[in-house]
């Protein structure tokens, strides 16, 4: 194929080239609107094209190529050790730039791969975007996968997967499959997601809703957070309400609103819920503090629970030496050996050896050896083993007082 060559440090005026175009370093090409090259364009160094450029392939080397209009390439854009700045839009099959790519207009390609900086002023559409350094986009990003090793700032996103090694800040939008954050992630607007895995730090400044969330590092949500499954091994803090199916807390988890789960919660760490905790069941090895906790089925407490209004479940079991502050309400309440509780309301209440309670209101009460209760009020029976103690004589009544909750 014929080659048109523009010598170093020169200026040329071209409108179309049949074949390839080769520009030596420091050239300026002017055109009447669009320069159309049927073959490849190769820039050996810095260059400027004053107008639009359309070609089959684009190659550039060490230096910066400036395109004053749109750059439309049928096949690939490749810039080895070079940079590319486009005042209009970019359209190509694949874009691979070593240093930096700046695009003022819309950008579209199957793949963008940039070693240093990728900067866009408008929208970007791609199958994949991979940036070693920084990526900044002011318009909407539509892509399947986005990978970033450095700092990334995006506006609205509609992407499948986002893998962040460095720092990412997005305006909001949708990440349909996975957000994997090794470094730092922040979303400023409403966000929906498939799953989130946070090894470093994730911040949701607005409401966020999605599937499973796994936090090894730190998670903060300023507003409401919705999820299917939440696993916190590190630290989580939700400024609004947290709603999901189930949760497993190994670390520390604070909710400033309510925590509502359709299934269960398992907590070996510490949970603080300013308002109500509602779930099907709970297993607590660590500590829980909330205004009220309502479990539709069972509640096992191995650590410490503190409520202002009470904890209610069908069946409550406090393990050995556990602690409960605030009323406990259940059809069946078992207070394990050496456990200490305040008031207990139930159908059947069983205090095991050396368990201590303040007041017990129940149909049937059993106090085992060494158990101590200040007051017992019952409707059917009370059984006090040898060595168990009720400070005031147990009181039989026809009806128990209304239970809290």
The answer to whether 45 contacts another protein (rule: CB under 8 A) is no
Whether the CA torsion 29, 105, 65, 97 is positive or negative: it is negative
Cβ closer to another protein: 57 or 184? 184
Contact region with another protein (CB under 8 A), list: 37-45, 127-135, 305-313, 350-358: 127-135
The answer to whether 120 contacts another protein (rule: CB under 8 A) is no
User: Binding residues for another protein, how many (CB under 8 A)?
Assistant: 34
Question: Please, which of residues 139-158 interact with another protein by CB under 8 A?
Answer: 147-151, 153
Cβ closer to another protein: 51 or 216? 216
The answer to whether 130 contacts another protein (rule: CB under 8 A) is yes
The answer to whether 197 contacts another protein (rule: CB under 8 A) is no
Q: Which of these, 217, 216, 222, lies nearest to 237 by C-alpha position? A: 222
Residue 215: burial class (beta carbons within 10 Å; 0-12, 13-18, 19+) = buried
The answer to whether 184 contacts another protein (rule: CB under 8 A) is yes
Cα–Cα dist 234/314, whole Å = 31
Cα–Cα dist 199/218, whole Å = 8
| CA angle, residues 83, 146, 207, in degrees to nearest 5 | 125
Residue 115 CB, shortest distance to another protein, in Å, is 4
Residue 199 CB, shortest distance to another protein, in Å, is 5
Tell me the DSSP string of 62-118. Answer: SEEEEESS-EEESSEEEESSEEEEESS-EE-SEEEESSEEEESS-EEEEEEEESSEE
Phi then psi for 170, rounded to 5 degrees?
-125, 155
Over the window 72 to 91, marking each residue x when it contacts another protein by CB under 8 A and - when it does not, the resulting string is ---------x----------
Over the window 209 to 248, marking each residue x when it contacts another protein by CB under 8 A and - when it does not, the resulting string is -------xxx---------------xx-------------
Close Cβ partners of 393 (under 8 Å, ≥ 6 residues apart): none
The answer to whether 346 contacts another protein (rule: CB under 8 A) is no
Question: Please, which of residues 89-108 interact with another protein by CB under 8 A?
Answer: 98-100
Residues making contact with another protein (CB under 8 A): 81, 98-100, 115-116, 130-134, 147-151, 153, 165-167, 169, 182-184, 186, 188, 199-201, 216-218, 234-235
């Amino acid at each position: 194929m014929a080659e048109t060559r523009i010598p170093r440090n020169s200026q040329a005026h071209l409108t179309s080239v049949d074949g390839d175009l080769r520009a030596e370093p420091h050239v300026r090409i002017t055109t009447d609107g669009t320069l159309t090259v049927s073959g490849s364009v190769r820039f050996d160094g810095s260059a400027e094209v004053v107008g639009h450029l359309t070609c089959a392939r684009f190659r550039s080397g060490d230096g910066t190529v400036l395109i004053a209009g749109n750059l439309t390439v049928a096949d690939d854009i490749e810039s080895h050790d070079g940079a590319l700045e486009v005042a209009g839009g970019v359209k190509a099959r694949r874009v691979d730039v070593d240093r930096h790519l700046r695009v003022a207009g819309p950008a579209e390609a199957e793949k963008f791969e940039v070693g240093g900086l990728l900067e866009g002023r408008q929208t970007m559409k791609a199958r994949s975007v991979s940036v070693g350094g920084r990526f900044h986009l002011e318009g909407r990003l539509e892509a399947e996968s986005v990978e970033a090793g450095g700092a990334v700032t995006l506006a609205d996103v509609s992407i499948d997967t986002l893998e962040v090694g460095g720092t990412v800040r997005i305006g909001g939008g949708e990440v349909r499959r996975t957000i994997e954050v090794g470094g730092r992630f922040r979303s400023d607007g409403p966000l929906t997601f498939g799953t989130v895995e946070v090894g470093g730090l994730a911040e949701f400044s607005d409401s966020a809703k999605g599937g499973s969330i796994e936090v090894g590092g730190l998670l903060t949500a300023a507003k409401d957070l919705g999820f299917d499954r939440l696993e916190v091994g590190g630290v989580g803090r939700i400024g609004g309400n947290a709603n999901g199916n189930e949760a497993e807390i190994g670390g520390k988890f604070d909710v400033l609103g309510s925590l509502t789960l359709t299934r269960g919660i398992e907590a070996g760490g510490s949970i603080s819920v300013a308002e109500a905790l509602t779930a099907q069941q709970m297993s607590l090895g660590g500590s829980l503090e909330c205004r009220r906790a309502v479990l539709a089925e069972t509640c096992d407490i191995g650590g410490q629970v503190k409520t202002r209004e009470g904890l209610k479940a069908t069946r409550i079991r406090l393990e050995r030496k556990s602690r409960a502050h605030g009323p406990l309400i259940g059809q069946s309440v078992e207070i394990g050996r050496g456990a200490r509780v305040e008031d207990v309301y139930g159908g059947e209440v069983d205090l095991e050896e050396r368990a201590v309670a303040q007041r017990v209101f129940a149909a049937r009460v059993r106090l085992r050896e060494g158990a101590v209760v200040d007051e017992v009020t019952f409707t059917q029976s009370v059984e006090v083993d040898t060595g168990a103690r009720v400070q005031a004589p147990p009181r039989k009544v026809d009806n128990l007082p209304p239970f809290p909750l």
